[in-house]
Amino acid sequence: MANMRVVGLLFCAGLACCAALDDVTQQLSRDILRELIEIDTTDSAGTTTRAAEAMAKRLKDVGIPAADIQVLGPAERKANLVARYRGSGAQRPVLVIGHLDVVEARRSDWTTDPFQFVERDGYFYGRGTQDMKASDAILVTTLIRFQHEGYRLNRDIILALTADEEGGKSNGVDWLLKGHLDLVDAAFVLNADSGGVTTVRGKPVNVDLEASEKQYADFELTALNPGGHSSLPTPDNAIYHLANALSRLERAPFPIELNAVTRTYFERRAPLEDARIKADMNAILRTPPDTAAVAQLSQDPRYNSMLRTTCVATRLNAGHANNALPQTAQAIVNCRILPGHSPEETRQTLIRVFADSKISVRYLNARGEADQAPQSRGFPTVLPTPEVLRPLEEVAAAMWPGAPVIPEMETGASDSIYTMAAGMPSYGINGIAIDQDDIRAHGKDERIRESAYFDGVDFYYRFLKALTATK
C-alpha cells in the first residue's frame, strides 16, 4: 500500500488530484475489482450472472434492502443487476449503467492470465480493467460508501450492471428497457463505458464527456456474373466490378459536417494542441470550413471520424475456383453514421458512389440482409444539460485542475444507443485516466494505473454527491 501511494504521488506531482483515499475504501474497491476480474464474463464461456449475484450480495450485505436489488435476465448465463439506492424523491432518478461482460481473451496471447487480477509496477492487469469492470467496481464501491454514511440524496440512483454489450444475443440494457422499464426509468443516464480523463504519461490533458453517438450500419455489396472458363476472360468480371466500386469508395470521403457537440469539442480541444493542429481546428470552425485544414485534420483517424460519416471496406469474399471466372464477389462495408443521417440515406449515397448497376447494396441487420435500411436519423446532438455539466466541471476542476471538460461524440457504439432510443438523454462519464497511447480495451495485457483507479473511485463518489445534492 505504501508503494501505491508513492506511485500516486509520482504521477500526480504538483497536482491536487491525489487526495488519497482512506485505506478501507482502497481495500474495498480493490477487492471488488479483483472479484469482478476473476469472474469470467465472456460470451463464449463466461457468465454475467455470477458477477451480478456477487455484486448484489455486496450491496445486500451493507444493508441496501433486498427488495431494491434484483438479478434478472433472459438466459441463465446472462443476468443483469439492477439496484436502487433510494433518495428523497425530490428529483426523478438517475440511471447509471455499466456492462459486466468482457471481450474474449486468450491466455496464450497475454503475458499474465487475463482472468487473474495481477498487481504489477503500479498497474492492475486483467481483462476488463479498462473495459469496463473498473468502472463497475467503482460504482458498486460508491453505493456501499453512501450506504455506510447513510447519505441522503435528492433522487434515487439506479445502478444497472448488464450483459452482452460486447456481443452476444442478450443485451441487458435493451432487455431491461423493453421488459422492465419501471426498474430503470430515469430522468437521464450516466454510462460509465466512456468519457474518462485523457492523459499523456499520466498528466491530465482533458476530461471527456460523451454526449452524442454515431449510428452503426453494415452493408453487403454483391456483384453477380454468369462466370465461365478462366482461359476465356471477358471484361465483365464480378471481382473487377467490386474492386472498382471499392476504390471509388476510397476516393470519395463523405462531406465534413459539424454539430453542437463536435463543434464544442474542437473549440475546447484547439487550445490544448500544438500550433499547427490548433490552427487547423480553428480553421475548420469557420464558415465555410477551410478545405486545406479539413484535409490536414482528416489524416488523423480520430479527428476524421468526428468530422464525417465514415464507410470502410472490412471484408471480401469472391470466386469459387482458381481456374473459373468469378460468379459472385461480395464485400462488407461498415459505416459509422453522423447523427442527423439515416442508414438508408447512407445506402443511397453508397449506391451513387459505386455507380455500377451490377452491384447490389443491401443492409445487414441481426436477422440477415434487407433491401432497405432503417430511416432513423439518430438522436439530435444537444450539449449536456447544466444539471450534469456543472457538477462534472466542479469535481473535474478540483481533481484535474487545468484539464477542461470536453464534450465528445462517440464514434464507436455503446449501450447509450438503447437508453437514448428510450428517450433518456445519456452521457458517458467515468473519471478514469488512461494515457492516450495506452488504450488496451479489447487488446492484450489490458491494464489500468492503480492511482487512476483510486482517483476514479474518488471521482464517482464526489460526482454523484454533487449531482444529487439536496436543493
Sites of contact with Zn ion (CB under 5 A): 131-132, 193
d(CA 8, CA 433): 12
Q: How far is the CB of 168 from Zn ion (least distance, A)?
A: 13
Closest-CA residue to 149 (of 471, 379, 468, 363): 468
Cα(first)–Cα(last) distance of the chain, in Å? 38
* Residue position matching grid coordinates 450485505: 61
In terms of CB distance, is 51 or 153 closer to Zn ion? Answer: 51
Q: Is 82:186 a contact under the CB 8 Å cutoff?
A: no
In terms of CB distance, is 35 or 410 closer to Zn ion? Answer: 410
d(CA 3, CA 21): 14
In terms of CB distance, is 8 or 46 closer to Zn ion? Answer: 46
Neighbours of 255 (CB within 10 A): 11
| DSSP designation for 193 | T
In terms of CB distance, is 131 or 174 closer to Zn ion? Answer: 131
CA-based Rg of the chain, rounded to a whole angstrom? 24
In terms of CB distance, is 309 or 416 closer to Zn ion? Answer: 416
Q: How far is the CB of 328 from Zn ion (least distance, A)?
A: 36
Q: How far is the CB of 441 from Zn ion (least distance, A)?
A: 7
d(CA 176, CA 84): 14
Q: How far is the CB of 95 from Zn ion (least distance, A)?
A: 17
Q: How far is the CB of 446 from Zn ion (least distance, A)?
A: 11
Cα dihedral sign, 405-409-413-417 = positive
Q: How far is the CB of 141 from Zn ion (least distance, A)?
A: 19
In terms of CB distance, is 162 or 259 closer to Zn ion? Answer: 162
Please report how many Cα atoms fall inside a 13 Å half-sphere around the Cα of residue 402, on the Cβ side.
10
Question: Helix, strand or coil for residue 245?
Answer: helix
